[in-house]
Chains A and B, each alone.
Chain A
Amino acid sequence: MASYLARRTGYMLIILLISSVVIFYALRSAPGGPSGGGVLSPLSSQEVRQAYEKRLGLDQPVYTQYFIYMGHLLKGDLGTSLVNGTPIVELLTTHARNSLVLGLTALLISYLIAIPLGVLAAVKRNTWVDQLAMGGAILGMGIPNFWLALILVYFFSLRLGWLPSAGCCDPPQLLMPALVLAAEGTAVTMRMTRSSMLEHLRDDFVRALRAKGLPEWQVIIRHVLRNALIPVISLTGLRLGWLVGYALIVETIFRWPGVGYLLVDSVLRRDYPVAQFFSLLLIFFVLMANWFADIGYGLANPRIRVA
């Protein structure tokens, strides 16, 4: 397991390095550049433009810029926004916290729904409970999250006036974006929990456990679910990745001031330092999530942990 971990970690660092180079070059090769995209007036004279670029170091070769940037990054200097001069450190603390709150709430809601329902559907297989849960799941997979967001806003904000349609950061404002973000992976997780439970309910050890006289709930929860969760854990890494992606859309819809909203905004405004830093941050987060899911998978599975 140790060598596996070392390999995973090295692999992660390499991807991070490649991503940083690709993102750095890509953003600079965009047509228009920072001076074209809303930062400077299109009417600015050539001299103003050049002075501006020189001040930001944009006149140097891209690889030089890259090394300067990485040097600053490693020293903890994250730079400032081109649009309004806010230090990125400041953006990081507020927006990252907001995103974490949203993401963790969504994940919690999702698993609290998906796992019990998946277990119930498997245990009550082919009954109306199962059919209802699975019908709901397949419907859930078909509803795009942004449309779900619109419908929720329509009912709960516009019609009933119970919840604010956007904003941050009170619990009522959190509820709808968290629900929408949770909806994304819930159906898949539920289906996976169910099929994994069904697979393990057929295992020989289930009969052997019953032959020991264990209560049925103990057989189902302690043993079958424990085994069935192993693939669900490894799905979590993937789900965190999707969550990051969908957070871009959900945060934008609900004007939730998180990293996703910031990233979409900065990309559209060509705010390089912001877009660059936060996309790297999200990639880092996705990689870390997969890394943790891999470790979790190994820890949950003694056949890998104790080889």
Chain B
Amino acid sequence: MTDLTVLDEKATWEASVERLWAVRPSRWRDAWYELSRNKLALGGSVIVVFFTLVAIFGPALAPYDYAKQVLSDDLLPPLSGGHLLGTDELGRDLLSRLLLGIRISMAVGLGTTFIALVIGTVAGMLAGYYRGWVDRVLNGFVELVWGFPLILIAVLLIGVIGPGLVGVVVAVGFVNWAGFARIVRGEVFALREKEFVVAARALGKSDLNIMVRHLLPNVVGSALVMGSYYIAIAIIAEAGLSFIGMGAQPPLPSLGQMINEGSGYMLLNHWLSTIPGMVIVLLVLGLNVLGDGLRDVLDPRLKGTG
């Protein structure tokens, strides 16, 4: 007779536990913190998406030809009739130049990073997976390039092939792939011993299959996080080199090039430099914040390496 009451009481006990569990807030102790981080990441991705759209469609929507000089309309301030952001010293429409400049910066940033990402991931994966002499050769090369001043290499390269965006892209890609290779190699080194990889090998899957199907998905997160930082680095490097006259050549408007051209008019017409400067700051800020957010979400182990 007591069994039933015991069972009944037990059910009540469990029900009360269930109830208490149901009302308990999220298990995430740092939920709020995570959320605020992710809000930042959200903000970052909004900025990045915005600039990507501008880079794709902006030049087509530009009100004027970026190179068209109207010398009588030179140095108009922003919000002048017909010129939203004003004109430069040669009477070229600043907005039209800015739109193309954003496309060039984004193209250089994304292009170099994509090249670096592909080369670096392949090299890092080969080194981490095969180890031995493959690793020694590849890693020796990575260590050589990694930590080398990008600007120095760019300046030397440009000294050889002449000023222009080609030198910038090659130099940035040449240095940055090593960053991806390092990260990917380290991860593959660790992953290689994990059960699922060992099991896949035991099942006789090919090395290529294991790398593509099992290792790649696991390293892609860290590579993406690194990627958003590296796009920012590439954009800053391009702008800096263009600023000292080694990147994009006139009349092509890269953001750094525009800042350089405007720098002579700082006192009276500072917007020629400050507007493209703020665009770079905003773009790089968006990329870095996005990188931080992605890192927290995708790969907590990388925390603090930025």
* Chain B 207-247 interface mask (CB, 8 Å, partner A; 1/0): 00000000000000000000000001000100111011110
How far apart sit A18 and B266, CA to CA, in the bound complex (Å)? 44
How far apart sit A290 and B149, CA to CA, in the bound complex (Å)? 12
Taking CB as reference atom, which chain A residue is nearest B268?
A158
Classify the interface of chain A: helix, strand, loop or mixed. helix
A144 contact from B148, B158, B246, B280, Cβ within 8 A: B280
Q: Does B56 contact A (CB under 8 A)?
A: no
Q: Does A126 contact B (CB under 8 A)?
A: yes
B144 / chain A contacts, CB cutoff of 8 Å: 15
Q: Does B156 contact A (CB under 8 A)?
A: yes
B277 contact from A31, A147, A198, A263, Cβ within 8 A: A147
* Chain B 141-152 interface mask (CB, 8 Å, partner A; 1/0): 000100111111
**CB-based contact A150/B285 at 8 Å:** no
* Chain A 133-163 interface mask (CB, 8 Å, partner B; 1/0): 0000011011111110011011000100000
Considering only CB atoms and an 8 Å cut-off, how many residues of chain B contact the other chain?
47
**CB-based contact B267/A245 at 8 Å:** no
Taking CB as reference atom, which chain A residue is nearest B161?
A30
Taking CB as reference atom, which chain A residue is nearest B267?
A158
A246 / chain B contacts, CB cutoff of 8 Å: 149, 151, 240
Measuring CB to CB, which residues of chain B are less than 8 angstroms from any residue of chain A?
Answer: 33, 144, 147-152, 155-163, 232, 236, 239-241, 243-246, 256, 259, 263, 266-267, 270, 273-274, 277, 280-282, 284-285, 288-289, 292, 303-306
23 residue pairs from A and B, CB less than 8 Å apart: A23-B156, A138-B285, A138-B292, A141-B232, A141-B285, A141-B288, A144-B236, A145-B240, A150-B266, A151-B274, A151-B277, A192-B305, A195-B303, A195-B304, A241-B148, A242-B150, A244-B149, A244-B152, A245-B149, A245-B150, A246-B240, A267-B158, A275-B159
For the complex with contacts A138-B292, A144-B284, A246-B149, 5 further pairs of A-B residues with Cβ separation under 8 Å are A144-B256, A146-B243, A154-B270, A195-B304, A270-B159
